[in-house]
Structure 1
Amino acid sequence: MHKSNFVIFLAELAGTFGLLVAATGSIVYDGMMGNALGIGFIAMIHFVGLGAMIFLFGRYSMAHFNPAVTIAYFIAKYISAKQILVYVTAQAIGAFLGSLFVKYVIGDFARLGLNSPNHQYPAWGFFGVEVLATVFLMGSILIAVNIRGLQTVLISAIIAGTVALDVFFLGAVSGASMNPIRSLFPALFTGATKDLWLYWTAPFIGAAIVGIIYKKKFVK
């Protein structure tokens, strides 16, 4: 691994760890409090946690923290095929460590922040919402990183704010993961894997749609 890829690896591992702690830890803590804090608290912690990770590590790895985002960045010609493995391996390790931290430091509540769709909706409904949530996320990423002269703190706020809004408004329908690796380890640790098909398909589709549109419109 080249030095630059090693830096990317460390940044993605640390950033994904922080994302998992914020995203799932907020749900676990709310569960500890008897769900008294609610979706507003959970969305706010998503915003603060992800925003901090992007601000701290974005300059080193572009702050993917998400294999669906990595694939979209590859489609959009930001990274090479060889770098995909660097990103995804780091994300997997970071997510695994993040779930361990949440379980043994924060607490073993709320199924470790497991994403779950609302089965009162038909499968095509919550699948479409999860695709749409990821479209919003990936769209905000490519818009933010392509606004010339935009400060890192504003890039962080745009992307993290989009995730927080997705969680707040769409979480009750699809679970609003937008991130296969964020969903994987809570599901594996709790044995509740029946909905993983959703989070390992819809986010990739949503992110890829945005990546393909970006490539066709802006990449020469």
Structure 2
Amino acid sequence: MPIRNIAVGRPEETYHPDALRAALAEFISTLIFVFAGEGSGMAFAKLTDDAANTPAGLVAAALAHAFGLFVAVSISANISGGHVNPAVTFGAFIGGNISLLRGILYWIAQLLGATVACGLLKFVTNGQTTAAFSLSSGVGVWNAFVFEIVMTFGLVYTVYATAIDPKNGSVGTIAPIAIGFIVGANILAGGAFDGASMNPAVSFGPALVSWSWENHWVYWAGPLIGAGLAGLIYEFVFIGNSGHEQLPSTDY
């Protein structure tokens, strides 16, 4: 069972050169992702004179996040695993695929990367606001909470199926684009309701820089629960108890 594989890790793991390199990769890839994703929203707001969200703006956000995450995962996959998301790191920990101490190191790097990205955006746009995630009119806190659980479950399940599963075979080569696609698709589904974060770091950076924390807990609790469920289910059902041979690719 995955619970047996959960490990705290050794203290020296937090300052081992490989762990520090992995943390730096997470910092850089998260910075790149948040700068592109948050920056696209700020650019659209400037071009439309801060008009309310429109279908075109939603599509633009989905594309920017999908492309940005594809690149961010690709450039860090061989160094840190390309998490770029505290929820993905938590899901990997719950499935026994990363130690607690290394996961905390990743969390620190991811949150710092998102914060630096938003700080840079505020500077280069001459003080334009980095908008914190918020609920749309008519959307309740618990609606958004469930939205974040379901969307992040889909994201982390995709990560497991394409990147973590040792039987992924040639599917592993498309992991970054599959992960980017599911995030873009989820933004199209939930972006008009709660912003579709699926990533506590993406929520934390703008909230800290703009100092806006209303309903911020939703963007931590929902993604972490969704990620934990995905990690448990995939690791227990499809990895931990799998005794069958993978189907030949010609059978798909």
TM range (shorter): over 0.9
Deviation at 1:134, TM superposition (A): 0.5
1:25 counterpart residue number? 39
1:77 counterpart residue number? 96
Q: In the alignment, residue 2 of structure 1 is paired with which amino acid?
A: H
User: What is the aligned length?
Assistant: 218
The answer on 1:168 being equivalent to 2:168 is no
TM normalised by structure 2 equals 0.81
The answer on 1:178 being equivalent to 2:192 is no
Deviation at 1:187, TM superposition (A): 1.2
Q: In the alignment, residue 40 of structure 2 is paired with which amino acid?
A: S
Could you give the per-residue CA deviations for residues 183-206 of structure 1, whole angstroms, max 9, x where no partner exists? 012112222211201112101011
The answer on 1:192 being equivalent to 2:206 is no
1:42-191 correspondence to structure 2 within 5 Å = 42-106=61-125, 108-109=127-128, 111-145=129-163, 146=165, 147-150=168-171, 152=173, 154-191=174-211
CA distance in structure 2 between the aligned counterparts of 1:183 and 1:14, rounded to whole angstroms = 17
CA distance in structure 2 between the aligned counterparts of 1:126 and 1:85, rounded to whole angstroms = 26
| Large movers: runs of 4+ above 3 Å | 106-109
Contact 1:25 1:106 in 2 (8 A): no
Contact 2:115 2:209 in 1 (8 A): no
Contact 1:127 1:174 in 2 (8 A): no
Contact 1:25 1:113 in 2 (8 A): no
2:244 counterpart residue number? none
Distance change in 2, residues 1:56/1:213 (3 Å): same
Deviation at 1:119, TM superposition (A): 4.0
Deviation at 1:106, TM superposition (A): 4.0
User: Identity across aligned pairs (percent)?
Assistant: 28
Gaps of at least 5 residues in structure 2 are 1-14, 242-252
Contact 2:207 2:213 in 1 (8 A): yes
Deviation at 1:4, TM superposition (A): 1.2
Q: Is 157-166 or 31-40 further displaced after alignment?
A: 31-40
Which protein is richer in helix relative to its size?
A: 1
CA distance in structure 1 between the aligned counterparts of 2:184 and 2:240, rounded to whole angstroms = 29
Deviation at 1:158, TM superposition (A): 0.3
Gaps of at least 5 residues in structure 1 are none
Deviation at 1:149, TM superposition (A): 2.1
Partner SS state of residue 218, structure 2: helix
The structure whose Rg is larger is: 2
